Structure 1
Amino acid sequence: MIKIAAVIAIVLVVGAIYFTVASSRRSLDAETLCPTTADSVTVLLVDVTDPMNTAQRQDFANQLTKLKNSIPRYGKLIVAKVDATGDKLLAPVITRCNPGTAEDVSSATGDPAAVQKQWEEGFDAPLTQAFERLSAASGAEQSPILESIQSVALTELQRPGLEKTPRRLIVASDLLQNTGDVSFYRNLPEPRAFTESPGFRRLRTDLRGVEVELWMLERSDAASTQPRALADLWERIIDADGGEVRRIYNVSG
């Protein structure tokens, strides 16, 4: 009886381990490596109009690497580029989810080497290549930043079912909105007046529940075009959209 009980106990333990491992595995999309429902959603919106100097390029690269490494296992990172939105919304430059690294599994519960390879080839390398392409100046005459924020909010951050999912928006830009309708080049508006204007009402969006970071890329004429009032204006804009600015970072250089 003792031997039978021991065998039964072993079977139960092995079964429990198998069930735990099997239930923790998640089916991932072959290209994006995303599960059906990501554990978090981060959108990086990049607007590089003018060339960056050497210090800026290095600091920008550092911040991008930190961002990539901050995405938790099964968290989604969407990278988009500021662009005009007319009859269609922005399409992501790349979407990837962190499948985990060798540190997330053990030989008893999985294959650490295979998981690490998947992270390096399917997550790390494609994102690094996308970041390198986005770091180059676009030379665009317009910077529809508000339109682009509205677009990614609608397509990525406010999808039904994401209400309880941690969401983050990072805008890497000189923050100088510049379109025919709204331009911060010509005259920096007073924050309250701007967020109550008809122009803003057309561009506002829903950022409730979204944490926002602003990475300000300084221009050579920053003293005149990017005063402290610019950051204050953007904090007011994000607040009016229901979001929360958690960090404003001035890229070095």
Structure 2
Amino acid sequence: MPRRKERGPWFWRGAIALMLTSVFGLFAAAAMNQPPATDTETGCRLDRQDPSHTIVLVDQSDPFNATDVAWVRALLEDEARALPKFGRLTLSVPNAASPYDPVTVWSACSPGSAAAANPLFQNPKMIEQAWQSKFHKPLMASAETVLIDTVAPSSPLMEAIFTLADRPDFQGQVPARRLILVSDLMQHSKEFSMYKTGTAWEAFEGSSLMGMRPGLEGVEVVARVVPRQEYALPLGEVKAFWLRWFKDTGAVYGSVT
């Protein structure tokens, strides 16, 4: 019976090298999955490397009925779910008393959803619990303070957008930026009011807001029109006005519904 061939030193050296490579690979993978330092209040990265930022501007110029509240909640739910880990969501409202100072109701970053969790290094159930408690629950609680049955005396949409576009965390270094308008799109302020001049572009050109266009290059803008029983102006004309307005800002005005 032939003798069993013994494994030589090269075999054992290769086995040891393979084992060390596997161990180092696991350590490297674990290191790559170590989260960056974050702010304790917002959950956002301290190095300010936000992968995305979605701003939802909710116009309170008219009261929200129960149906409005339901679809706005659903909108916020969808936007929150769609954020990548450390993606920022800001909820803001126009400020009738000080048009260029929109109120930031809430702003924080997603800790990541269970759908994007790496099961090798993360527990999807714990990820979902953290997302619910640290992000989703406070977002929806803040939304309740916005979706109230009150009427604002004016609707300075352009002024609010101008200021929001100037936020340091909403500039070109952020790879994905979205601006969502929840409004009937009726601009109404001292500087320019559609209730007084309609949607005539010539009237807008004569206002001070003509020269105050925000810089929104590369920003995806979505308008969700709040349905009203009766509109002060033909809705088609209002939509066309905003399409032209946003085109001049460099934004990607992709959807008006």
TM-score, normalised with respect to structure 1: 0.86
| Distance in 2 of aligned mates of 1:196 and 1:145 | 16
2:3 is aligned to none
Matched, 1:125 2:137: yes
Structure 1 gap segments, 5+ residues each: none
- Output aligned runs, 1:172-251, within 5 Å: 172-191=182-201, 193-194=202-203, 196-222=205-231, 224-249=232-257
Could you tell me which runs of 5 or more consecutive residues in structure 2 were left unpaired when the two chains were aligned.
Answer: 1-8
* Residue aligning to 1:75: 87
Q: Does structure 2 retain, via aligned residues, the 8 Å contact 1:157–1:167?
A: no
CA positional deviation for 1:61: 2.2
Give the fraction of aligned pairs with identical amino acids, expressed as a percent: 24
Larger radius of gyration: 2
Name the structure 1 match of 2:176. Answer: 166
Return the letter of the residue paired with 2:16: V
CA distance in 1, matches of 2:168, 2:105: 13
Structure 1 pair 88/174, CA: closer, same or farther in 2 (3 Å)? Answer: closer
Counterparts of 1:200 and 1:62, CA distance in 2 = 33
> 52-61 vs 194-203, which deviates more?
194-203
Change (3 A) 1:22 1:138: farther
Tell me if the contact between 1:195 and 1:237 (Cα under 8 Å) persists in the aligned partners.
no
User: For structure 1, which segment, 202-211 or 102-111, has the greater mean C-alpha deviation from structure 2 after superposition?
Assistant: 102-111
Distance 1:113 1:245 in 2: 37
Distance (whole Å) between structure 1 residues aligned to residue 39 and residue 237 of structure 2:
44
Of the structure 1 ranges 47-56 and 119-128, higher mean CA displacement relative to structure 2 is found in: 47-56
SS of aligned partner of 1:186 = helix
The 1:87–1:131 alpha-carbon spacing in structure 2 relative to 1, beyond 3 Å, is closer
Of residues 61-70 and 195-204 in structure 1, the stretch that sits farther from structure 2 once superposed is: 195-204
Q: Does the alignment pair 1:33 with 2:43?
A: yes
State the shift of 1:226 in Å.
4.5
- CA 1:146–1:185 in 2, change beyond 3 Å: closer, same or farther? same
**What displacement does 1:165 show?**
1.2
Amino acid at match of 2:255: R
Q: Which residue of 1 aligns with 2:161?
A: 149
Task: Give 1:127 shift.
Answer: 1.0
1:100 alignment partner in structure 2: 112
Q: Number of residues paired by the alignment?
A: 245
